[in-house]
Amino acid sequence: MCSNMQRINFIDFIKGICMILVIWGHCIEYCDPISYQNNNYYSNPLFEIIYSFHMPLFMLLSGYFFANNFSRSFYSILRRRFIQLVIPCLTWGIIGLFFIYINSFLSDDTLPSIKYVPYAYINIIKNFWFIWAIFLSLIFSFISCKLIKNKIWAFCLSFLILLLLPDNSIFTSLFKYMYPFYWLGYLLNNQKYLFLKRRKYIILTTFPLFIILFLFWEIKYYIYITGMAFYKLSLPNLTLYPIKFNEQIKIVFFRYFIGATGSLSIFYILKHLDNINNRLFYLIQNIGKRTLGIYIIQSILLEYKLIAFNFNSNNIILYNFVSTLITALILIIFATGLIIIMEKNKSLNFLLLGNR
């Protein structure tokens, strides 16, 4: 029981680190309006490092306990994860829509047309793409394992099918990108004793590879730039994707390799902190326990400009390690405090945080 609790606490600690990186990356993106308008943040070295591995690592952690679902029925899993993930997304979408309308009214004394409401609402909940990716990865993985008993074949075939599906939206691209890392998390837990025995070798192999791959990083490797599609579906004909097929294959698999080496090496490097028992570890661990709420709150605040910043990124050291880092920490403290208040109310805890 003790070792299990330590393992869970450690996972929460890494999730907390990931959450800090997510918000830090978003602050780098949004806190300089000029840089944001011109997409200059894509060339920010710290932004490049964060975005090369942080969401793959987050998805790895989400898939870590996937095996726990095999003893449950599909309905039980669907209901449980719908409550935990989907209900908060839908509820926060309504709240986000309300704040957007209020913000619009305060800005120019007008309200958007009522026809805009469904479109705006869908756009808001689509911005919580990572939560939807977790939900879909669980469902897709569970069905694959029920249909194909051999787990290796279940992953390979489901991944191949997913990879070859048409993908005309960034949301589909992001889901395709995240799916293998969900399975990687399952593998790490399923073979945890084998991997833990060899974790030093894993670090010594994957971390240098990650560094080498990062030296070749270019803007085209961002998922938001080139997506995951090899073609676009234009009925009744299939139209080849604008990027050459051979080039797109290289981009997609480079993205997978750097994400895998980065997330694996960081996962096991942080595993060395397993026995640390101090206040900082405890604080980060508590961030990790509340990642869903923190992720949604910061998304609404930053991406919909409910709070606006006007920093200058010309001094990149000051911008990266002072302005945006402090802003990210303030946002985390604010969101965590808000969540703690919500947790005390049964209805808010259920509707906004997915807790029963």
pLDDT in tens, 256-296: 999 999 999 999 999 887 667 788 889 999 999 999 999 99
pLDDT tens for 220-266 read: 999 999 989 877 666 555 555 555 778 889 999 999 999 999 999 99
Query: Three-state DSSP class for 232?
Result: strand
CA distance 102 to 114: 14
Average pLDDT, integer, range 191-217: 93
Specify the number of domains making up the chain. Answer: 1
38: containing domain: 2-353
- What pLDDT sits at residue 3? 40
287 touches 16 (CB < 8 A):
yes
Q: How far is CA 198 from CA 7, 14, 202, 259, 326, in A?
A: 17, 20, 6, 20, 37
pLDDT digits (tens, 9 = 90+) for 319-344: 999 999 999 999 999 999 999 999 99
Question: Among candidates 166, 170, 172, which has minimal Cα distance to 235?
Answer: 166
Q: At what angle do helices 245-271 and 45-63 cross, to 10 degrees?
A: 70
Nearest to 37 by CA among 330, 305, 332, 351: 305
Adjacent-strand bridge partners of 233: 238
Q: Hey, how many other C-beta atoms are within 10 angstroms of the C-beta on 75?
A: 8
How far is Cα of residue 42 from the mean position of the Cα atoms in its chain? 18
pLDDT one-digit tens code per residue, 96-117:
888 877 777 666 656 666 667 7
Which segment of 2-16, 79-93, 176-190 scores lowest on mean pLDDT?
A: 2-16
Range with the poorest average pLDDT among 19-28, 110-119, 183-192: 110-119
User: What one-letter code names the amino acid at 248?
Assistant: Q
Fill in the amino acid letter for 176: K
